[in-house]
Amino acid sequence: MTDPLGQSQVLPYLSGLSKEGYSFHLISFEKEERFSHHREHIQAICDAAGINWYPLSYTKKPPLLSTIYDVQRMKRLAHKLHKKHPFKIVHCRSYIAALVGLGMKKKYGTKFLFDMRGFWANERIDGKIWKLSNPIFKRVYDYFKKKEIQFFKQADYTISLTYNGKKEIESWKEFGEHTPQIEVIPCCVDLELFNPENINETDQTNLRETLHIAPSDSILGYVGSIGTWYMLSEMLDYFKLLKATKPSTKFLFVTGENPSTILNKAQEKEIKLEDIIITSCRHNEVPLNISLFDHSIFFIRPTYSKKASSPTKQGEIMAMGIPLICNARVGDTDLVVEKYQAGQVLTDLTDAAYLQSFETELNFIKSKTIEGAREFYGLEEGVRRYLSVYEKLLTQNY
């Protein structure tokens, strides 16, 4: 919960559902450094929402064995809590938690909600974290692909982040005519926080001065981590050509990433470092930083597993009324950008495609983009969908 995703993609939903009368016991695994810095803040959020939080320390090494150890700790704590507070629903975020949730369903009869968050085992392969040439990783991969089918078959309900992912699951021959019950809930955005009307011009001016952004500068912006999936090299290629076309452009990264990761790659491409601006901020300061963007960009590796991916940044950027430049074949990104005229989807990531895109009129209507964020990514809509699933689980009305 002390990671940015925990604060944007777990706690807001649970807080909203708590207001509807649901009581939560939340087990999470926390990284030591982040936990020491953010524990009090997260505890205050949980206390305000009536969420009972049970943070455990995250174990990273040795690989695989540390995960088995953490699963056993999660299992012991979940079973212990169930004896004190008999749970009606076990809501499992991703595959590791589902190992425990499925076991609790079999032992106690609790409803098992599989909140899949993506094709996890395939993400490990696509992200080159596991190599199938390694017999150990091949065995682990095969194990989780078998468990994946069990999760879908035995879950009382499944949550997919994308319609693309749902369509893929429903095509699998393992289910025949008995496809899983699936609700689509993308990575939602707090529209009260990400609201361009709340941006103060004085704060904008002060931030521009702090970041040495001149009034005449045009800003291409990126927000979030770089990590495994985001195509930094290609985004820098796009910027380099854009800079040649529009010399006033600078590239602003709002990220917790080590600046050297970005700057070293920029130097390789002979991009002037004074044209790269890198800053980091707290989650509640992200909207102000995004408000400095003239355009926002993200390129994601369009692998098989990304059919089920919903970039958190997309809803945030759209809510702020900033046009998007993104690539095709990632989750529902194409569908959303095109439906709500939120910017430009590139089918090829080549210099020729970039140059052509500069000459193409941007498919962007600010008011429609903001409305699209509300309709598709609004937190209230996400909570409503979760609430509908919870009610179905408790009434068997599905």
The model's pTM: 0.93
How many other CB atoms sit within 10 Å of the CB of residue 40? Answer: 9
Q: Tell me the fold of 196-377.
A: Rossmann fold (3.40.50)
First-to-last alpha carbon distance for the chain, in angstroms, is 32
The amino acid at 188: C
Q: What is the pLDDT of residue 282?
A: 84
Residue ranges, the chain, pLDDT below 70: 397-398
* Alpha carbon distance 342, 234 (integer Å): 21
Q: What is the pLDDT of residue 258?
A: 94
Partners of 89 in the beta sheet?
Answer: 111
Q: What is the pLDDT of residue 20?
A: 96
Tokens 């091949």 map to which residue? 138
What's the pLDDT tens digit per position in 275-309? 999 999 988 899 999 999 999 999 999 999 999 99
CB 232 within 8 A of CB 268: no
* Alpha carbon distance 293, 231 (integer Å): 19
* Alpha carbon distance 295, 248 (integer Å): 13
DSSP notation for 146-172: HHHHHHHHH-SEEEES-HHHHHHHHT-
Q: What is the pLDDT of residue 283?
A: 84
What's the pLDDT tens digit per position in 55-91? 999 999 998 899 999 999 999 999 999 999 999 999 9
* Alpha carbon distance 297, 99 (integer Å): 36
Domain 4-186+379-395 and domain 196-377, same fold? Reply is: yes
Give me the residue spans of the domains in the chain.
4-186+379-395, 196-377
Q: What is the pLDDT of residue 396?
A: 74
Joined tokens for residue 49: 């929402």
CATH of 4-186+379-395, one of 3.40.50.2000, 3.40.50.2300, 3.40.50.300, 3.40.50.1820: 3.40.50.2000
What's the pLDDT tens digit per position in 173-208? 999 989 999 999 999 999 999 999 999 999 999 999
